Amino acid sequence: MTHFRPASARILSSGVVVVHWNRDHYDYLLLRAYNYWDFPKGVVESDESPLQAAIREVEEETTLTGLRFRWGDVYRETHPYNQGRKVARYYVAEATGTEVQLPPNPELGRPEHSEFRWVGRVEAWNMLTPRVRAILEWTDSIITRPRR
């Protein structure tokens, strides 16, 4: 679906830092497209809120449903990228399970991502670019609050 945007308007992608409690720490869900690892995200459509888009993108890209937004609807945005045309907004949610599938995207005829991994904090840091590491650091400040 193509949307008209003024040349000065930025494209907003919205996604979720999906975490899963693993005994004594959180694991993070990362998706790989080409050689680039990121959290699930995609473009916000004109008929949905950024949070609705984030939830939709997680389900479309990973088949995960029933995310728990234990920390509310707080979010953090990246610095502009792609020649300043895009910004990515991330929320934080906990997955109740770790079963992930990478279904084909109907428009592409193949999955958007070639691989997924549940990884600990150090491994996530080593896999992410500086722009996305800033989101990981912010997430740490959110999820290290005492568990309810």
Give per-residue burial for 68-97: e unless 16+ CB within 10 Å, then b: eeebeeebbbbeeeeeeeebbbbbbbbbee
- Stretch 100-111: mean pLDDT: 93
Instruction: Give me the chain's average pLDDT, please.
Output: 92
CATH 2.40.70.10 fits 11-143, yes or no: no
Judge contact between 13 and 42, C-beta under 8 A. yes
Domain coordinates in residue numbering, the chain: 11-143
Residue 1 has pLDDT above 70, yes or no: no
What's the pLDDT score for residue 5?
A: 46
- Which residue carries 């939830």 as its tokens? 55
Q: Is the pLDDT of residue 4 over 70?
A: no
Of all residues in the chain, the percent with pLDDT exceeding 90 is 84
Specify whether the CB–CB gap between 110 and 104 falls below 8 A.
yes
For residue range 20-53, list pLDDT tens digits in order.
999 999 999 999 999 999 999 999 999 999 999 9
147: pLDDT strictly greater than 70:
no
> Residue 8: its pLDDT value, please?
54
Distance from C-alpha of 18 to C-alpha of 43, rounded to nearest angstrom? 17
Contact by Cβ (8 Å): 82, 7: no
- The per-residue pLDDT for range 62-87, each reduced to its tens digit, is 999 999 999 999 999 999 999 999 99
Residue 145 has pLDDT above 80, yes or no: no
